[in-house]
């Protein structure tokens, strides 16, 4: 096999994030923007060569090659991404997991999802975008992932507040456990609503849950635009709610796929000029995909076994 092409989606932050009984978790909000990775062997080099500055991906790949006892393997990794760094789009998780998956396929012909998860978590707290469907996921330990279901049809209007957030520094905050404990009751309620919404494919319930989680997080990493944005969007036909990047600067407005955005964008621009509109995207089910050149050059999902609960 000469080369492998893999992609992993990014996210519009999370549908929900917090902790229950001291266990941290999130439910990522995967979207149809991706990190695409092309990996192949190169006999002219003795180590890993990546086409962009990606030290966390480099470290993850080195750990994988060490596990396979191939520390000197010459591998070229080309990363092409739609995702913004330090905003809450799971850009680092997508780069890391796509690269690991591609190398696993190249070397072993299959993905070891547990090994992939363990390496990703060693590098940094990780999003669940590489798992099939929508998952509850402990972003610190990688354990006890719970499959909730597939993503219903929903669009997301993607906005960004000014600034950047280093997710590694954010997750090292010693006060974070205490702050998460303070919002636990709200998160329990939001999670119950979210589970029901995904199970019943009820976008309004999903929007209600994500809005609850967004406001519960305001005392941890506040979004200056959030309250006004909800005031603008509340009770508008075709709008389900909002969600945020809990360790980033993104805010999403969850809308019906046939929602016409023109008037809303004008209203937001007038009232919240500092809020930058990035794109309109789709909520999707997460998962690792490989490019298959079978005449149609389609992408094929790989880690279907992740639908089961695993540790």
Residue pair 205/197 in contact (Cβ under 8 Å)? The answer is yes
pTM: 0.94
DSSP symbols for 112-134 = -HHHHHHHHHHHS---STTSSBE
Q: Regarding beta strands 3-20 and 289-292, do their DSSP bridges make them parallel or antiparallel, or are they unpaired?
A: antiparallel
CA 138 to CA 78: how far, in whole Å? 29
Residue pair 130/116 in contact (Cβ under 8 Å)? The answer is yes
- Going through the chain in order, the beta strands assigned E by DSSP cover 3-20, 23-41, 48-50, 75-81, 134-136, 146-149, 155-160, 239-244, 250-255, 276-282, 289-292, 298-301
pLDDT at residue number 178: 92
- 35: DSSP letter: E
pLDDT tens-digit profile, the chain (311 residues) = 468 999 999 999 999 999 999 999 999 999 999 999 999 988 888 889 999 999 999 999 999 999 999 877 899 999 999 999 999 999 999 999 999 999 999 999 999 999 999 999 999 999 999 999 999 999 999 988 999 999 999 999 999 999 999 888 888 888 988 999 999 999 999 999 999 999 999 999 999 999 999 999 999 999 999 999 999 999 999 999 999 999 999 999 999 999 999 999 999 999 999 999 999 999 999 999 999 876 667 899 985 443 333 32
pLDDT at residue number 295: 61
Domains of the chain plus CATH, in order, are 4-147+285-301 (3.30.230.10), 150-283 (3.30.70.890)
3-class DSSP assignment, residue 96: helix
Q: Nearest CA to 103 among 134, 65, 148, 69?
A: 65
pLDDT at residue number 46: 83
90: left (phi over 0), alpha (psi -120 to 50) or beta: left
């Amino acid at each position: 096999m000469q080369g492998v092409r893999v992609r992993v989606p990014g996210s519009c932050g999370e549908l929900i994030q917090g902790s229950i009984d001291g266990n941290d978790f999130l439910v990522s909000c995967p979207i149809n923007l991706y990190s695409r990775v092309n990996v192949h062997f190169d006999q002219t080099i003795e180590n890993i060569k990546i086409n962009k500055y990606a030290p966390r991906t480099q470290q993850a790949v080195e750990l994988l090659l060490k596990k396979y006892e191939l520390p000197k393997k010459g591998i070229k990794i080309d990363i092409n991404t739609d995702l913004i760094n330090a905003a809450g789009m799971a850009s680092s998780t997508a780069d890391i997991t796509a690269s690991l998956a591609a190398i696993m396929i190249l070397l072993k012909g299959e993905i070891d999802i547990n090994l992939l998860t363990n390496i990703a978590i060693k590098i940094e707290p990780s999003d669940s975008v590489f798992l099939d469907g929508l998952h509850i996921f402990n972003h610190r330990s990688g354990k006890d992932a719970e499959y909730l279901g597939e993503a219903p049809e929903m669009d997301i209007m993607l906005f960004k507040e000014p600034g950047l957030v280093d997710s590694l520094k954010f997750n090292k905050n010693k006060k974070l456990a205490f702050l998460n404990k303070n919002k636990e009751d709200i998160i329990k309620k939001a999670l119950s609503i979210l589970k029901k919404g995904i199970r019943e494919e009820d976008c309004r319930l999903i929007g209600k849950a994500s809005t609850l989680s967004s406001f519960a997080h305001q005392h941890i990493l506040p979004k200056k635009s959030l309250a006004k944005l909800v005031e603008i969007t509340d009770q508008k036909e075709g709008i389900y709610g909002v969600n945020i990047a809990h360790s980033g600067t993104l805010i999403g407005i969850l809308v019906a796929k046939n929602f016409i955005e023109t008037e809303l964008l004008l209203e937001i621009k007038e009232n919240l000029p500092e809020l930058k509109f990035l794109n309109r995207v789709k909520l999707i089910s997460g998962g690792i995909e490989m490019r298959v050149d079978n005449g149609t050059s389609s992408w094929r999902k790989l880690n279907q076994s992740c639908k089961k609960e695993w540790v």
